[in-house]
Amino acid sequence: MQSNSGNMIVKKKHNLILVILIFGTIYSLISIVNHYHFRTYALDLGAYTNALYDYTHFQWNDSTVFKNVGENLLADHFDLYLILFSPFSLIFGTYTLLILQIVFLLFGAIGIYKFFETSPQTARFSIHATIYYCLFFGVFSALSFDYHSNVVAASLIPWFFYLINKRKLASSSLLLLAIIVAKENTSLWLVFVCLGLAIQYRKDSPIRNYLMLAALFCLIYFISITSFVMPAFSNGNTYPHFQYSVLGENFHEAIFHLLRHPFEMLKILFTNHTNNPHGDYVKLELHALVILSGLPLLLKKPQFLLMLIPIYFQKLFHDNFSMWGIGGQYSIEFAPIMAIGIFMAISEFKNIKLKNILSVTVLSLTLFCTLRTMDNTIFPISKSRIRLYQASHYTSDYNESNLHRQFSLIPKDAIVSAQSAFVPQMALRDKIYQFPLIKDAEYVVYSMKENSYPITGDEFIALVNQLENSNEWSIQYKDEDITILKRKCNPIQL
């Protein structure tokens, strides 16, 4: 009997290793390939990689990658991970954050497995829940668009659940701190996560009381960072990311508006409140994919629905309709909560056959939702960034090897202005700007094949013609792919 049990444990561990290897390969084929083929951008990978350079040189980052007037990057997002991760850039170069993001996602998958293995009732679903987490559409969407620290934070959530379940409160406190320093709004999410867990452990008074105190700590942290710390770092003494005009001008007004108009607010969760026609059905698509991914099963475990409240609100009340959808990093927080909550709910059913049917159904629908994200979406997503099963993902319009060679010829200490897609490749330097910001740049890099963002196509054409015909610049290199201009004299002397 013990031998059979031991063999089962070994087999499950082998299955876990296989899952990690498969998804590690898939994730790399999305993220690493995108970076090599110039499908990562100044916002956000370029700006964050430039911050790594500054932190390794013991200096603050001034956000001049994307801002005309310098401002401490911590005023934009209070993200301490970049400081902690910066030494790895000496090893992995411009791929650093992408590699770490993949590592943490896989680490989160192991955390899901470990959490389910802590109980005989849930252990049979450990591999199922792990696959669900790895397969979730929000993970693939996040990987297809650069690096974001909330992805790392979300990957640590399963380990927080695990440590709480093991009653390791000192370790869970350290991990809680490690999670909330990812980004200022992560602490607000953790308020609801801790409250949901307090309900889960309501009969265990020491754990429940600890979680209530943890929720209070996270709330105080959120208020302190957004009301005092970030404004102190900013030029305008303000918090820049309250972009919820439908709720008011600030967090205080938002809370009272939510309390006074609850039914109106519920309606906004499902409707296009900006009246921008491009936002039509974007929220509906999100709801559909989350529901198909198993959300109704959380009705059996409503404490997990509580944990998702701030995620829904920060997405669906936002002024920018692109935040509402299934693209980018804006759905990653669903992954750990739903993976744990759904399979805990399934484990509580009595009928074994029903458990198996629900598990297979949820995994099949989750796969469908992820493929839907890759194939056809209401909110437009660049398919070449995410369709790892098509040849177009592994090619581009550029001669990549030549571009990388030309970039390597630009001196490491030179000041560069480059189009968005080229900034991440050259961001490990003291100064680099997203074109059309030029300022004191010594080199300007652009391509007619790239999107002209953040200026219009006509403005882009006019500007590059002006530069190429100017006496201040000479053409260092030019072909059908790219143009590199070099300033003829020191810009300080101009």
Residue 357 has a CB neighbour count (10 Å cut-off) of 13
pLDDT given at position 5: 65
DSSP code at position 88: G
How many residues in total does the chain contain? 494
CB distance 146 to 425 below 8 Å: no
CA pair distance 484, 465, nearest whole angstrom = 13
List pLDDT tens digits, range 223-263.
999 999 999 999 999 999 999 999 999 888 999 999 999 99
Q: What is the DSSP letter of 348?
A: T
**Which residues of the chain have a pLDDT value below 70?**
1-6, 490-494
Is residue 487 classed as helix, strand or coil in its secondary structure? strand
Q: φ, ψ for residue 60 (rounded to 5)?
A: -70, 150
CB 485 within 8 A of CB 467: yes
Beta bridge pairs of residue 475: 485
433 φ/ψ angles, rounded to the nearest 5 degrees: -120, 150
Cβ contacts of 5 within 8 Å, gap of 6 or more: none
**pLDDT in the model for residue 494:** 40
Whole-number Å distance between alpha carbons of 334 and 247: 23
CA 459 – CA 450 distance, rounded (Å): 14
Q: What is the pLDDT of residue 4?
A: 65
User: ω into residue 440 within 30 of 0, thus cis?
Assistant: no
| Strand 432-434, strand 416-418: pairing | parallel
Q: What is the DSSP letter of 42?
A: I
Q: Determine the pLDDT at residue 493.
A: 44
Distances (CA, A) of 107 to 24, 94, 156: 10, 21, 8
pTM of this prediction exceeds 0.85: yes
CA distance 482 to 67: 24
Q: What is the DSSP string of 154-215?
A: HHHHHHHHHHHHTT-HHHHHHHHHHHHTT-HHHHHHHHHHHHHHHHHTTT-HHHHHHHHHHH
